[in-house]
């Protein structure tokens, strides 16, 4: 058990230290990109290009180039996370409604609980689908 823990810790350390800047080459032009700088600013815009030393995104004020030394992390919007978020929202809404209605109604109201669980599950799925997902492609190594 101790050996497994050491291996997991070593693997996590190696992955955290790996330079994953090359993953930025998989971003397609125009994809919504968040660049978090070391000074705490969030810059959001459409991806334009990347090199080994910098990334260029189109902000409302124009094209902006960020060097690798300025960046804390880079995230991109992924639409495939919406289904996951919708499922989570549906589960939360249905279970919350089921618990609340079951706690406040008398015995024999199972269909009443099921109807409210379905309705609140649909509301939760809608809210979850509205929340976009982001994947972090690059995180600056800790110094």
What does the buried/exposed string (b/e) look like for 100-133 if buried means 16 or more CB atoms within 10 Å of the residue's CB?
ebeeeeeeeeeeebeebbeebbeebbebbbeeee
Give pLDDT tens digits along the chain (143 positions).
Answer: 445 444 444 444 444 445 688 888 888 899 889 999 999 999 999 999 999 999 999 999 999 999 999 999 999 887 666 777 788 888 888 888 777 777 776 665 666 677 777 877 888 787 777 776 778 889 988 86
Take residue 51 and report the two structure tokens written for it: 């090199």
Whether the pTM exceeds 0.75: the reply is no
How many of the other CB atoms lie within 10 Å of CB of 96? 15
14 burial (CB, 10 Å; 0-12 / 13-18 / 19+) is exposed
From 78, 32, 71, 39, select the one nearest 55 (Cα to Cα): 71
């Amino acid at each position: 058990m101790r050996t497994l823990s050491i291996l997991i810790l070593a693997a996590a350390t190696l992955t955290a230290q790996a330079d994953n800047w090359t993953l930025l080459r998989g971003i397609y032009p125009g994809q919504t990109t968040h660049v978090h700088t070391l000074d705490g600013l969030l810059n959001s815009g459409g991806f334009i290009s990347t090199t080994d030393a910098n990334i260029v995104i189109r902000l409302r004020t124009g094209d902006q180039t960020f060097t690798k030394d300025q960046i804390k992390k880079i995230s991109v919007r992924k639409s495939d996370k919406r289904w996951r978020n919708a499922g989570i929202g549906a589960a939360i809404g249905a279970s919350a409604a089921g618990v609340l209605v079951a706690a406040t109604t008398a015995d024999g109201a199972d269909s009443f609980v099921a109807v409210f669980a379905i309705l609140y599950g649909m509301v939760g799925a809608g809210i979850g689908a509205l929340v976009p997902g982001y994947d972090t492609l690059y995180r600056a190594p800790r110094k």
